[in-house]
Amino acid sequence: MSAPAASERLKKGFDRWDFDGNGALDRADFEEERPRIAEGVEKEAGSADIQRLRDTYGAPFDAIQQEAGGASDGSLADEHFIRVTENLILEQGEGSFNRVLGKTMSNVQAKWGLCDKNTDGEINADEFATVLTALGMSKAAAAVAFNQVDTDGNGELSIDEALTAVPDLQFGRLLAELRG
C-alpha cells in the first residue's frame, strides 16, 4: 500500500474512533464502542459477556498510546496517531504491527465471543454483520467484508481467519474497512 493510501485509511480510522469528535483519541473513545456492540448483539450492559468486553477495551488504546510514547494528557491527536501507526505499518513493517496487535488479542477474543451467538466457535455472515452494523456499517458492506475475510469460502469465519484479516486490512491486501 502506498504511503498516501495508508495515510488516508488511517485518517478514516481515526475519524471513526474519535466518537466525541474532539480531534483526539483517548480511552473513552475506544470504550464508546462497547455499548453499541452490546445493543447490536442484544446483551444487557451488565452481562458477563459485556463486562469481559469492557475489561479489554483499554487494550487497543493502551497499545497505540505505548507505541506513541504516552502523550502527557492521555490522548493522541490525529497527526500523532497517524504518524505512529504509519511508522508501525510502513516503516517498521508487519512484525511490529503484529506485536502491537498481539497486545489487543483479549479485546478481539471478547468481541468474538459476543459475535458467536450459536457458540459453535465460528462466526457466520449474520453474526459478523451484527457487530459491524452496530458500529455503523451497512449490511451490504458487512457482507462484502465477510466475503473478503472468509478466505476458505466455507461461509464461516474461524478466529484464525479473523486474526489474519486484521493485518491484511491494515496493509491494504483487503479492501474492506471493518468499521462503519
Report yes or no: 52 and 59 within 8 Å, Cβ to Cβ: no
Q: Which domains does the chain have, with CATH numbers?
A: 3-170 (1.10.238.10)
DSSP label at residue 103: T
Alpha-carbon gap, residue 102 to 166, rounded angstroms: 11
Alpha-carbon gap, residue 22 to 12, rounded angstroms: 15
First-to-final CA distance of the chain = 21
Residue carrying the nine cell digits 475475510: 149
Provide the residue-wise pLDDT of the chain in tens; the chain has 180 residues.
Answer: 566 766 777 787 788 778 889 998 888 887 777 777 778 777 777 777 777 777 777 777 777 788 778 655 688 888 888 888 778 777 776 677 667 766 666 667 777 777 888 788 898 999 888 878 887 788 998 898 889 889 899 999 988 887 777 666 655 565 555 544
- The residue among 86, 44, 47, 43 whose CA lies nearest residue 64 is 86
